Structure 1
């Protein structure tokens, strides 16, 4: 290798963001990773260089002069890579369409439907990448992005709605049966709700009366995802159901929490698009049905879809796939 003294390259992005924000939490939010992931990369970088890069206080994080000097060099290098990448990534209008999609939605909803895309739109080639949160079409090598609308979108970005977000607790059928037998939850929906298609949960906000909470989840391990840590709190706020778990477990990504639910580890909050196929196959059930949480998914593009036949074709197909959601 021509550069034997380079530090771990995957640590440089979290390091630069941490120096710029003077905060690992804000760096993690910008990069759409967990605080722990950023902290580990900073530790790896400090170990590699043999120096301390931050002065750590009780509620403060101050980059050292050496850290600021290194961060400035990293920014200069990234600017050069960014400029070269945009030049290399320029594509002809009729070429492949680069689509960025939130990782769990990509894995659990979009990829299983790609054979249908190839069948229905045979002339369209799509290059997929995983990503979440804001996207810069000037900077990032993507043509369109499939995102949940939980962040501000610049006025010059076109937003094409796809489907509303609906959430609810999901678990394996075996775990649901054990909980029912042991009264692990009460007030769950009828079989229509167990199938995951019940829409009557929206009225549950008043089920507990003026000041109380409706019967809910008890005696079970509840599963969290670091990428959406407020999911259980959102469901409780929307439904006013109680959650009194036996234990809690947190996973770094949403798809890991959902896979743990399939395996019977516990109960997770399942956004409908992410659990739809598991509900249909009977690998998961939604005992309390699902409730709209006020957000939705949209296709973001730098121009109206009708100006690019590739984007227009993709949007038509996505909306057809979303009709069942």
Structure 2
């Protein structure tokens, strides 16, 4: 699609619905927030008398979310949204697997179907491959929040499509607030270049041109799960995949999320939670679920949850539950 001026940039109503759902997780009366974002009040009902809305509605939602939450909360909310709802929604529609490049090119075409202002494409420049998001720069307040969202989204998309083989290394951004972007989840090790004409992610050629395996996402309707409504619920959601690493010291959680240790502690303490206790409870909850699965041995359950040997696992479990893992399994089989 040639990059020609549009009379009005529009977005599919279904996309706006997804973003409008975010308002349910911040303080404020929902219809007041919808009006602030210039979204029709019936967007969250089953009314189907229109199919598109102006792109400004999505910009307004992201701006209001950014201004209503702390930087850490905004990042976690948007990461949860991308990981849980938005990225799987696009990945489920992809069919190209012969190379990451072809899958990304197909994604770029998909994006144009939901917004006539979308322009994301692959490009080779300076001897490197890039995934580029082109958006006319503006000093309007919404722009930084929209670019933050785009960086979170693209990072998660590339991670999913490459099954974690790709890691952010060089990222060009149009904004000049370097600290804000460096604090995003999983982006702490990336080298950012500010004041660029486009947003761009560098992708090594051996990854860009290699085949990929698309994850099987068969029930797109299940992707709109309730989003977290607090820092604690968001934290639990995004840290859960890492519990198999063992006790998960807060320094490692800080590194994974790219949020300072003291910030994590302060946010959790404000909700009456101590980090160490929370992780122990979450690990125990996962252990109990695994013990109910008869196809895993006690030793396998312990190993899966990061315990070096079965005796260590048994002692730790008995300390918390006043019974051995074997006794628990017998009672709940």
Question: What range is the shorter-chain TM-score in?
Answer: under 0.3
Give the structure with the larger strand fraction: 1
**RCO higher in 1 or 2 (8 Å CA, sep ≥ 6)?**
1
Give the structure with the larger helix fraction: 2
Q: TM-score scaled to structure 1, two decimals? A: 0.24
